[in-house]
Amino acid sequence: MTDPVPAPPTAGEAVERPQVRVQRLDPDLPLPGYAHAGDAGADLCTRTDVELAPGERRLVPTGVAVQIPDGWVGLVHPRSGLAARSGLTIVNAPGTVDSGYRGEVQVCLLNTDREHPVVLHRGDRIAQLVLQRVGWADFVEVGSLDGSDRAAGGHGSSGGVRAWQTQQPDPPEHFQESTR
């Protein structure tokens, strides 16, 4: 297998490129890499053949361990093509690879198709690893929070939840006002 191409910075722009150390646990699998210049996610492959029955989820090994630099996080995202064509997604998307984690990157895949199994072969690309800067907060307990225009509105409070009008005759009570 060939390693994916590295993503070069956009012409004329300074791009911060953290170095991620990779331990290849399977010498026949490629390192994580970008399929196209400018891609945000580096492809991760399956180390094993996998068949997921309809509705089945499984932790799938990638054959690599990574050392994410301090101040960064690796976020494991689904591949849009797999999701669209076969219903394959990641249960905890995005999965989090903290900078202190040194084990094999594994992906918790879920076959959302109700009728057909998803068959993956060793070396198939199954997910994308996106690096992102992180910040840390000091959490301070207070008796109340400052007001805002949004207040406690969430879970459909901004509208646009028409799916309930076609799929369920009665949306949950706390959504009824926000979807009209």
Contact by Cβ (8 Å): 46, 62: yes
Beta-carbon contacts of 6 under 8 Å, excluding residues fewer than 6 positions away, are 33, 34
Give CB contacts under 8 A, 24+ apart, made by 143-152: none
Quote the radius of gyration of the chain (alpha carbons, Å): 20
Token duo for residue 173: 């009570």
Interatomic CA distance for residues 30 and 48, integer angstroms: 14
79 is in an annotated binding site: yes
Other Cβ atoms less than 10 A from the Cβ of 2: the count is 6
**Nearest-CA neighbor of 125 among 92, 96, 99, 86?**
86
Residues β-bridged to residue 89: 110
Is residue 97 annotated as involved in ligand binding?
yes
- Check the annotation: does 111 bind a ligand: no
Residues at the binding site for substrate are: 79-81, 92, 96-98
Residues at the binding site are: 79-81, 92, 96-98
